Amino acid sequence: MSTNADGTRTRRKTALRVETVARAALALVDSGGLESLTMRRLAVSLDVQLPTIYRLFDNKQALLDEMAETVLGGVLARVREDGEADWAGRAAALARAMRETLLAQRDGARIVGGTYTAKQHTLTLAETMLASMRDAGFPGDTALRANTTIFSFVLGEVLEQQGATGGEIETLTASLRGGRYPCLAAAPVELIVDFDARFDFGLRILLAGLSAELA
């Protein structure tokens, strides 16, 4: 709000941009989690009336779609370029950049998962991955399925990591006492929450399978 000469308060009339609102929503999620995000709370944070938000977004899902688009807009900037990398190296770089981007935003995987936005950042990311695979010789249908498989793998791993609370190993270890699950009891269960290592392993296996498919 702004203050008039007589001391009264009036709301700002500055036109809001869609991206500005999406970033404000992401900031609210960063501070309180996705459950804390409501259209009303967002309007308050932006010092506008609730109808102003609804003029930009028909509903909360439309807002979430724009938030996902904003998050994914940061992926390509995180890619570590390697001019000598083959398609698998470029795919791995994109997957790692996407993981870093999602982890940098609280509940990032929940925001992006399940949204099917057809906007610039999302389409550019998909186009970059597909172009690399098509150049390597993958048929169009295989390249598309490979792209969605990698995308889903990254989302799933980040969702698991962002959902971890820190007590998973103790809970699992206590549940394995008694000999009912001997294979699990004999396994190094702490590896389950070694998220960096399990991501590297899964990505390596995934790309090896795609390489075999290409061959």
Residues 39 and 94 occupy one common structural domain:
no
Handedness of CA 83, 87, 91, 94 (dihedral sign): positive
Q: How confident is the model at residue 37, as a pLDDT?
A: 97
Q: Are residues 137 and 209 in the same domain?
A: yes
pTM summary value = 0.87
d(C-alpha 131, C-alpha 139), whole Å = 11
pLDDT of residue 154: 97
Q: What angle, 0 to 180 degrees and rounded to 10, lies between the N-to-C axes of helices 39-46 and 18-32?
A: 110
Closest residue by Cα to residue 150 from 124, 123, 130: 130
**pLDDT the model gives residue 10:** 46
| Residues 108, 157 share a domain | yes
Check: CB of residue 87 under 8 Å from CB of residue 136: yes
Query: 51 and 87 share a domain?
Result: no
User: What's 13's domain CATH number?
Assistant: 1.10.10
CATH number at residue 126: 1.10.357.10
Domain check: are 90 and 195 in the same one? yes
185 and 136 in a common domain? yes
Nearest to 25 by CA among 75, 65, 77, 58: 65
Radius of gyration of the chain (CA): 22
Report the half-sphere exposure of 121 (CA within 13 A, side-chain side): 17
H/E segment holding residue 128: helix 120-136
| Res 178: pLDDT | 84
CA atoms within 13 A on the CB side of 126: 17
pLDDT at 177: 85
Domain annotation covers residue 23: yes
With respect to residue 76, please indicate whether it lies within any of the assigned structural domains: no
105 and 33 in one domain? no
Q: What pLDDT does residue 184 have? A: 87
70 within domain boundaries: no
Whether 93 and 49 map to the same domain: the answer is no
Residues 139 and 94 grouped into a single domain: yes
Residue 112 identity (one-letter amino acid): V
Helix (H, G, I), strand (E, B) or coil at 3: strand
Residue 75 domain-assigned (yes or no):
no
Domain boundary (57, 73, 100) is at 57
Asked if residue 73 is part of any domain, the answer here is no
- The pair of three-digit structure tokens given for residue 28, joined into one six-digit string: 């609210």
- Tokens (6 digits) for 143: 């390249």
- Counting beta carbons within 10 angstroms of the beta carbon of residue 111, is it exposed (0 to 12), middle (13 to 18) or buried (19 or more)? buried
42 with 135, same domain: the answer is no
Interatomic CA distance for residues 111 and 40, integer angstroms: 18
Query: Is residue 43, in this structure, part of any structural domain at all?
Result: yes
State pLDDT tens for residues 24-61. Answer: 999 999 999 999 999 999 999 999 999 999 999 999 99
Contact 22, 66 (CB under 8 A): yes
**66 part of a folded domain:** no
Residues 88 and 176 in one domain: yes
Residues 93 and 145 in one domain: yes
Q: Which two tokens stand for residue 210?
A: 């795609």
Domain count, the chain: 2
The pLDDT of residue 32: 96
Please, are residues 195 and 201 in contact by the beta-carbon 8 Å criterion? Answer: no
8 within domain boundaries: yes
The parts of the chain modelled with pLDDT lower than 50 are 1-2, 4, 8-11, 13
Query: For position 14, what pLDDT does the model report?
Result: 54
Q: Which domain holds residue 38?
A: 2-57
